[in-house]
């Protein structure tokens, strides 16, 4: 069901899909213009916060598969870091 990993065994494909987000996010931020505060970074941070909410809303859906400690650690940590970045950017203005 997960993009690019459907040919793998479920557990392995799920973990690769989850942990591949870290280098992908790093690449997006690295390709940004490099300012401390930018629209790309603000957008990624805002999405990280919204992303936590979306996972929370869908957590009881029968098709929801991200109900393991690995997924939730990355989801919540990214949301917290996004919220911290938005707060720091607001203070920087």
Q: Please write the tens of the pLDDT for every residue from 36-85.
A: 678 888 999 999 999 999 999 999 988 788 888 988 998 999 999 999 99
- Counting DSSP H helices and E strands in the chain, the numbers are 4, 0
Kindly state the tokens that stand for 45.
């941070």
Quote the number of domains for the chain: 1
* Domain-embedded: residue 38: yes
Q: Read off φ and ψ for residue 41, nearest 5 degrees.
A: -65, -40
pLDDT of 12 above 90: no
In this prediction the pTM is 0.74
* Domain-embedded: residue 39: yes
Nearest by Cα to 82 from 44, 54, 27, 32: 44
Question: Which residues span the domain enclosing 40?
Answer: 34-92
* Domain-embedded: residue 1: no
Query: What is the signed CA dihedral for 15, 61, 78, 92, rounded to 10 degrees?
Result: 160
């Amino acid at each position: 069901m997960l993009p690019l990993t459907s040919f793998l065994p479920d557990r392995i494909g799920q973990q690769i899909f989850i942990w591949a987000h870290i280098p992908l996010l790093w690449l997006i931020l690295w390709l940004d213009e490099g300012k401390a505060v930018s629209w790309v970074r603000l957008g990624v941070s805002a999405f990280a916060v919204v992303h936590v909410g979306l996972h929370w809303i869908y957590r009881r859906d029968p098709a929801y598969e991200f109900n393991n400690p690995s997924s939730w650690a990355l989801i919540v940590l990214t949301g917290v870091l996004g919220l911290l970045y938005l707060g720091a950017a607001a203070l920087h203005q």
